[in-house]
Amino acid sequence: MISDTIAAISTSTTSSGGIGIIRVSGEAAIDIVNKIFKGKCADIDLTKSESYKAHYGIIHDEDRYVDEAIVLVMKAPNTYTRENVVEIQCHGGLFIVNKILELTIKMGARPAEPGEFTKRAFLNGRIDLSQAEAVMDLIASKNEFALKSSFNQLQGKISKKVEEYRKVIIHHTAFIEAALDDPEHYELSNYGEKLLTDVDNLVENLEKLLITADNGTILKEGIDTVILGKPNAGKSSLLNVLARRERAIVTDIAGTTRDTLEEQINLDGLTLNLIDTAGIRDTSDIVEKLGVDKAIEYAKDASLILYVVDSSVPLDENDEKIISMIKDKKVIVLLNKSDLQTVISPEDMKNITGGEVLSISAKYDDDISQLSELIRRMFINGEIEENDEACITNIRQKTALQEAIKSLKMVVSSINDGMPEDFYTIDLLNAYTELSKIIGESVEEDLVNEIFSKFCMGK
């Protein structure tokens, strides 16, 4: 039972805005705010207010006026935390919102920890752990796909699937246990065959859900993308086109870019964590060489290489060096300067690199739109933008799924090997426990605290 009352600023704490919001949650929330609020037009007792009713008035510190505000009273259990919640909407100056927060603490609240409002929603049974994590993902969404997936998970799409699979597992476990305890009334002959069908279906469905984990990571974190090429191939021009602004200096002088430039862009709904690098070539310039070495290091860890080639000149030893670097990597070769007379064909580059090839003109922004479709085909499993499914978005959920699948496959092995039925229940219960971790029914308190510590303050 949570007895204390918490308060926090729910809007920005680093810059002023038009409106600031202080959120108070807990058994004493209404009483606390009632002590610092006075109706502007009439006396108002917030403790007698209807739930979900807004009141206009003044926030005061004893006899001192602090700010005009609208106070929204929300009574348990129909609130975000399933506790009494009051939101104070005031002017958005940092001094003002902090002053009002201090007043709520003075009257008996304590400062909320990061994510504590959502943690209380989880602990009070309003949402499960996968939905709580979806709240954080929703706030951090960087593109339309991530936003949609997070919203679907918040609506319980993952939870409903997990509950459905757990019901199947617990049904079979309970039946086997009952039959072992009371063989006169429950028949187990040939039960393995019946169980095998359901377990095979469970494994198939869980593996489909597991596939979404890679999508979820991409949607959530973006694709680490490195732009490679020799000097003057058009790497910086490409960065500027993708960023839709003059992010990098572009000149006809080879070696202009000597250090890495980083930019996060949204490319038709996909997030790319772009790194533009120094042109790859042998050089005696110490500073430029450091840039080249750094480019090589970034390329080793990249999820995607955009290899920019000047298609108006033949390949040389610098291109050969780059091609040797990008073997066994996910690569899109961009044959740049298609507006000029070209001497390199897409077919030749595909044969040489084995990667996808696209002819473009970064100078004139030609055919750049095809790039997003290529990247989507390389990284996204299925048509995320066209369905209403949620993705597994973190390693905790992914690991639990993997362990559940492993346990269910052990059940299959036991059935095929003709093992006694009590062997089935051991692995069935292991699978059940692992699935329970996804929605938070079998997680340690320390893990719960770690998850919510990553939330922003006020949420």
Identify the CA nearest to 410 among candidates 430, 427, 434, 435: 427
Task: Give the CA angle between residues 2, 29, 8 to the nearest 5°.
Answer: 85
**CATH superfamily, with its number, for domain 6-126:** Probable tRNA modification gtpase trme; domain 1 (3.30.1360.120)
Task: Give the CA angle between residues 454, 148, 112 to the nearest 5°.
Answer: 25
At 243 the pLDDT is 73
Identify the CA nearest to 145 among candidates 353, 327, 386, 459: 386
Q: Using one digit for the tens of pLDDT, what is the confidence trace for 170-183? A: 999 988 888 888 87
Q: Which residue has the tokens 């005031």?
A: 90
Task: Give the CA angle between residues 432, 433, 438 to the nearest 5°.
Answer: 95
Give the other-Cβ count within 10 Å of 145's Cβ: 23
Q: Using one digit for the tens of pLDDT, what is the confidence trace for 257-301? A: 445 678 888 877 778 888 887 777 766 667 667 777 787 788 888
Q: Using one digit for the tens of pLDDT, what is the confidence trace for 31-63? A: 999 999 999 877 899 999 999 999 999 999 988
Q: Write down the domain spans for the chain.
A: 6-126, 132-217+391-440, 222-362
Q: Using one digit for the tens of pLDDT, what is the confidence trace for 357-384? A: 888 887 766 556 788 888 888 877 654 4
At 38 the pLDDT is 94
Is the distance from CB of 281 to CB of 230 less than 8 angstroms? yes
At 249 the pLDDT is 41
| Residue 65 burial (C-beta neighbours within 10 Å; 0-12, 13-18, 19+) | exposed
Q: Using one digit for the tens of pLDDT, what is the confidence trace for 406-443? A: 999 999 999 999 888 888 999 999 999 999 999 888 76
Q: Using one digit for the tens of pLDDT, what is the confidence trace for 330-347? A: 899 988 888 788 888 889
Quote the longest CA-to-CA distance of the chain. Answer: 89
CATH hierarchy code of domain 132-217+391-440: 1.20.120.430
CATH class of 222-362: alpha beta
Q: Using one digit for the tens of pLDDT, what is the confidence trace for 57-83? A: 999 998 899 999 999 999 999 999 999
220-223, long-range: CB within 8 Å, 24+ apart, which pairs? 220/137, 220/140, 220/142, 220/146, 220/393, 220/394, 221/271, 221/273, 222/142, 222/264, 222/270, 222/271, 222/272, 222/273, 223/270, 223/271, 223/272, 223/273, 223/303, 223/304, 223/375, 223/379
At 279 the pLDDT is 73
Q: Which residue has the tokens 């862009």?
A: 265
